[in-house]
C-alpha cells in the first residue's frame, strides 16, 4: 500500500507531501525528483520507477506531477487508478487542477488526502460524499443543503451507495444521457483497415430527486437477440418521454432516421463494457440489465468497446510521393461517409511534412483551409463544417531543404480530428432509460449522440 503521496510542480518542487507510513521519509521526494523529474532523458521510459525497494508511480497532468510511493509489491493498477481519481477530485473541487490551484488549496488537499487514504489504503473517493464534509468556502457556498448531521455523513461514506446522498430534491427531475464515441482507426498506406474500433462512453447528468432506481437499455445485440419482443414493449410502456428540446438533443424512443448508416431495429455487438461502480454488475452478468442508482450530477455511466461493423465517418485517400530529395507531393482526398443531413464540425486534418520542409504550395478544392505549420512539421487543414456525403481534396507540393546527412523521413501518419453530432460510428442507440422512485415522480430524459476522432490515423 502507499507510503506517501507527493505533488510536484513542473520544476520538481514539492507542493504537497503527505507521508502515510513510517517506512519512508520525506527525503524520498527528492529521490524521485532527482531520478525522474530532473532526469536528463527527455521521454519517460516507464510510469513506474523502482529504486531499491521504493517504488514511485507517477502521472502527469497540466504542470503537475502526481506521485505515489510504495514500499511493497503494490497493485500498480490500483495505484494509478487512485492517482487518476485524485486528479478527478482536484478537477472537481477546484475546476482546474494545476500548480496554482494546488497552492491555493493546500489545506483542503491535505484534508482530502487524510480522508481518501488511510494508512495508504484508498478509502471512499466519491466527490459527492467527500464534498459533504471536506469542504472549501467555495464548495460549501454551492452546497444548498445545510451541513448534514455527522451520522448521515458517516453512513453515506461507508454505505452501499457511497456515491449518492439520499436527501436530494429537484423540482424538475431530468436526466441527460450523452453517448460519446471515439473512433480509432489505423489505416495502412495501401488503404486497408488495420484496426478500427470504437470506444464509447455514456455520460449521464442526473438531476433526480431521492434515490432513483434507473434501468438503462441499449440496442445491444445480446439483449435484442435473446428477447426481441421486449424492445417494443418498453417503447410502448412509455418509460420515455418525448420532448422537443434543444436541437442536439433527441428524445428517446424515436429512431434515428438521420443516424448514419444505422437503420431501425439493428443491433450492435458490444465487445466489452465497463461500468461505473453504481451499476449492479451481478445483474448485468445474469441478464445484461443495466440497473443502478445514479450519483447526482455528471458521471460516466459506462464505457464500451465495439470492433465489428464500425461506420468510419471519413474516408481518406492520400497519395504522398517523395520526388527525389528535394520535394514531396501530396494529394489527399477526404470523403464523408454519413447521412447528408448531418455534418462534422471542428475538423482538423494534420498532414505531416518532412522536418526539412521549407516551402509549401497548397491548394484545397472543397471546404476548408490549409496552411503549413512549421512547428508541428505538418500541413494543418481546418474544416469548420463538413456535410455528410461530401468530399474535399488537397494538393500540395512541399520543397525540402538539402540535408548534410540525408536520413529517411519516417512518414508519420495523417491524423484527423472531428466531431459528428447525432452519429454513432458503432450504430449504438439508447433504447430506454427508466427511472423508478418511491415518490413516483415523472422525469424527463434527453439523449445526445456524438462521434469524435479518437486516434484516427492514416498511414502514408
Partner 1 sequence: MLLLPLRVGKVHDLRAELTSEKKDPRGQRKKVAMKKVVANMTMGNDMSQLYQEVIACMSIPDLEVKKMVYLFLINYARARAEIANMAVNGFEDDVNDPNPLIRAMAIRTMGYIYVDRVIESLIDPLRHCLRDRDPYVRKTAAMAVLKLSMFDRSLVEEEKFLDMLKDLLADGNPSVVANAVAALTEISERSPHIKLKLNMKIANKLITALNECNEWGQIYILESLMYVVPQDTSDAETVIERIMPRLQHGNSGVVLVSVKVIAYMMNYVAQTETLEPILRKLSPPLVTLLAAGPEVQYITLRNIQLLLQRWPTILQNQLRAFFCKYDDPIYVKLAKLEVILSLTTEENARVVLTELVEYAAEIDVDFVRKAVRSIGRIAIKIELAADRCVRALLDLIQTKVNYVVQEAIVVIRDIFRKYPNRYESIIGTLCENLDTLDEPEARAAMIWIIGQYADRIDNSDRVLATFLDTFLDDPAEVQLAMLTAVVKLFIMRPTAGQDMVPKVLKWATEHVDSPDIRDRGFIYWRLLSTDPEMARAVVLADKPEISAEGERLDMPLLEELLLQVGTLSSIYRKPPCTFIPFAKKRVLGASEALTRLTIAPPPVSRLPRSASVMKRPPSSKQQQRTASSADDGVGGLSGSSSVQLSASALDVTNGGSGGMSNPYINDTAAGFMQGNDAVLIDLMSMDDDEYGGDSSAAINSGGMAGFNASFGLTGMNMASLDPATRGTAGTAPDSQVLNSAFDAAGLDALASVASPMARLSGRSGSPMPDLMRQFTSSFDLSSGGSSMGAIPSPMGNLSFSQHLQPQPVSGSTSSLAGMAGGAAAPYSVAANASSMPTLLGTTVAAGFPSVLSPTSTVFNIPTSTGSPFANSAAISGVQGNQQPLSAPVAGNNATLFSQTGNNSNGNITAAASGISEGTATAFKKEVDDLATQMYNSGFHNTTNAGSGSGSGGVGSGSDTGTYVAPRHVLLDAQQTQGLEILGTFARRTGGKIQMEMSFANKSSMPISDFAIQFNKNTYGLTPSGSLGVGTVAPMHSVDVTLPLTLGGPAQAMQPLTNLQIAIKCTAGVFYFQTQYSLHILFGETGNSDQGEFLRMWKAMGDAPTGSRNVQRLRFASMEDMRNKLNMNNVFTVAQRAVAGATHFYTSSKLVDGSMFYSEIKVANNFQAAIIVTKSTAAHLVPLYQKAVEDICTAF
Residues 207 and 213: their CA atoms lie apart, in Å, by 13
- Distance between CA atoms of residues 173 and 205, nearest Å: 11
Question: b/e for 350-386, b at 16 or more Cβ within 10 A?
Answer: bbbbbebbeebebebeebbebebeeeebbbebebeeb
17 vs 393 by CB, closer to partner 1: 17
**By CB under 8 A, what part of segment 154-183 binds partner 1?**
154-155, 157-160, 162
Q: Is 441 in the site for partner 1 (CB under 8 A)?
A: no
Spatial distance between the Cα atoms of 335 and 313, rounded to a whole number of angstroms: 8
Per the rule left: phi > 0, alpha: psi between -120 and 50, beta: everything else, 238 is: left
Query: Shortest gap between Cβ of 315 and partner 1 (angstroms)?
Result: 19
| Distance in Å, CB of 281 to partner 1, minimum | 4
- Shortest gap between Cβ of 318 and partner 1 (angstroms)? 15
C-alpha cell recorded at residue 185: 482507426
Contact with partner 1 (CB under 8 A): which of 280, 315, 335, 341? Answer: 280
Q: Which of 43, 144, 229, 233 binds partner 1 (CB under 8 A)?
A: 43
Residue 110 as a binder of partner 1 (CB under 8 A): the answer is yes
Q: Which is nearer to partner 1, 81 or 264 (CB)?
A: 81
Pick one of 142, 171, 404, 407: the residue that binds partner 1 (CB under 8 A).
Answer: 407
Specify whether the CB–CB gap between 330 and 352 falls below 8 A: no
Residues 112-151 touching partner 1, rule: CB under 8 A, are 114, 118-119, 121-126, 133, 150-151
User: According to CB under 8 A, which residues from 367 to 386 bind partner 1?
Assistant: none
Are the C-beta atoms of residues 241 and 446 closer than 8 Å to each other?
Answer: no
Read off the C-alpha cell for 249.
438533443
Stretch that binds partner 1, among 191-199, 363-371, 377-385, 429-437 (CB under 8 A): 191-199
CB 257 → partner 1: shortest distance, Å?
30
Residue pair 373/382 in contact (Cβ under 8 Å)? The answer is no
**Cβ 163 to partner 1, closest distance in Å?**
8
Which 204-243 residues touch partner 1, going by CB under 8 A? none
Name the one range near partner 1 by CB under 8 A: 53-61, 210-218, 258-266, 417-425: 53-61
- The yes or no reply on residue 415 touching partner 1 (CB under 8 A) is yes
Set of cell numbers at residue 213: 432506481
Q: How far is the CB of 76 from partner 1 (least distance, A)?
A: 5
3-class state of residue 23 by DSSP: coil
Question: Which DSSP state fits 268?
Answer: B
User: How far is residue 23's CA from residue 437's CA, in Å, rounded to a whole number?
Assistant: 49
**What are residue 334's phi and psi, to 5 degrees?**
-120, 130
Q: Give the residue with the Cβ less far from partner 1, 1 or 262.
A: 1
> Measured from the CB of residue 283, what is the shortest distance to partner 1 in angstroms?
9
Q: Which of residues 70-109 bind partner 1 (CB under 8 A)?
A: 70-84, 106-107
Instruction: Give the ranges where 95-126 is alpha helix by DSSP (H).
Output: 99-104, 106-116
DSSP state of 21: S
Pick from 133, 78, 184: which is nearest to 452 by CA?
184
Write down the least CB distance from residue 41 to partner 1, Å.
10
Q: Is 27 in the site for partner 1 (CB under 8 A)?
A: no
Does 153 contact partner 1 by CB under 8 A?
A: yes
Asked if 246 interacts with partner 1 (CB under 8 A), we say no
Amino acid at each position: 500500500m502507499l507510503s506517501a503521496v507527493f505533488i510536484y510542480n513542473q520544476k520538481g518542487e514539492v507542493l504537497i507531501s503527505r507521508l502515510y507510513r513510517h517506512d519512508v521519509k520525506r527525503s524520498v521526494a527528492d529521490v524521485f525528483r532527482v531520478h525522474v523529474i530532473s532526469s536528463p532523458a527527455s521521454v519517460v521510459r516507464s510510469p513506474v520507477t523502482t529504486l531499491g525497494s521504493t517504488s514511485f508511480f507517477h502521472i502527469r497532468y497540466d504542470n503537475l506531477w502526481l506521485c505515489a510511493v510504495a514500499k511493497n509489491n503494490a497493485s500498480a493498477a490500483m495505484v494509478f487508478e487512485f492517482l487518476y481519481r485524485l486528479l478527478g477530485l482536484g478537477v472537481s473541487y477546484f475546476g482546474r487542477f494545476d500548480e496554482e490551484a494546488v497552492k491555493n488549496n493546500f489545506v483542503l488537499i491535505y484534508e482530502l488526502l487524510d480522508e481518501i487514504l488511510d494508512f495508504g489504503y484508498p478509502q471512499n473517493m466519491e466527490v459527492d460524499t467527500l464534498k459533504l464534509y471536506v469542504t472549501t468556502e467555495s464548495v460549501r457556498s454551492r452546497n444548498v443543503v445545510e451541513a448534514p448531521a455527522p451520522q448521515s455523513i458517516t453512513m453515506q461514506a461507508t454505505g452501499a451507495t457511497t456515491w449518492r446522498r439520499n436527501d436530494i430534491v429537484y423540482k424538475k427531475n431530468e436526466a441527460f444521457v450523452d453517448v460519446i464515441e471515439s473512433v480509432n482507426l489505423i489505416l495502412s498506406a495501401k488503404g486497408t483497415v488495420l484496426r478500427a474500433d470504437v470506444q464509447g462512453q455514456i455520460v449521464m447528468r442526473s438531476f433526480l430527486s431521492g434515490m432513483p432506481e434507473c434501468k438503462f437499455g441499449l440496442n445491444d445485440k445480446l439483449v435484442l437477440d435473446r428477447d426481441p419482443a421486449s424492445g417494443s414493449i418498453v417503447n410502448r410502456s412509455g418509460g420515455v418521454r418525448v420532448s422537443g428540446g434543444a436541437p442536439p438533443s433527441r428524445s428517446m424512443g424515436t429512431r434515428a432516421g438521420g443516424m448514419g448508416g444505422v437503420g431501425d431495429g439493428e443491433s450492435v455487438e458490444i465487445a466489452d463494457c465497463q461500468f461505473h461502480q453504481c451499476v449492479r454488475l451481478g445483474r448485468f452478468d445474469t441478464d445484461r440489465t443495466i440497473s443502478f442508482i445514479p450519483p447526482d450530477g455528471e458521471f460516466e455511466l459506462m464505457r464500451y468497446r465495439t470492433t465489428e461493423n464500425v461506420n468510419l465517418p471519413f474516408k481518406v485517400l492520400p497519395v504522398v510521393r517523395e520526388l527525389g530529395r528535394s520535394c514531396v507531393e501530396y494529394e489527399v482526398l477526404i470523403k464523408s461517409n454519413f447521412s447528408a443531413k448531418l455534418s462534422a464540425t471542428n475538423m482538423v486534418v494534420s498532414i505531416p511534412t518532412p522536418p526539412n520542409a521549407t516551402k509549401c504550395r497548397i491548394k484545397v478544392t472543397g471546404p476548408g483551409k490549409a496552411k503549413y505549420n512549421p512547428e508541428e512539421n505538418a500541413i494543418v487543414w481546418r474544416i469548420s463544417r463538413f456535410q455528410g456525403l461530401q468530399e474535399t481534396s488537397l494538393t500540395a507540393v512541399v520543397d525540402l531543404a538539402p540535408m548534410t546527412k540525408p536520413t529517411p523521413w519516417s512518414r508519420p501518419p495523417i491524423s484527423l480530428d472531428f466531431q459528428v453530432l447525432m452519429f454513432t460510428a458503432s450504430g449504438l442507440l439508447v433504447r430506454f432509460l427508466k427511472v423508478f422512485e418511491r415518490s413516483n415522480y415523472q422525469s424527463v430524459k434527453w439523449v445526445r449522440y456524438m462521434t469524435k476522432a479518437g486516434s484516427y490515423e492514416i498511414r502514408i
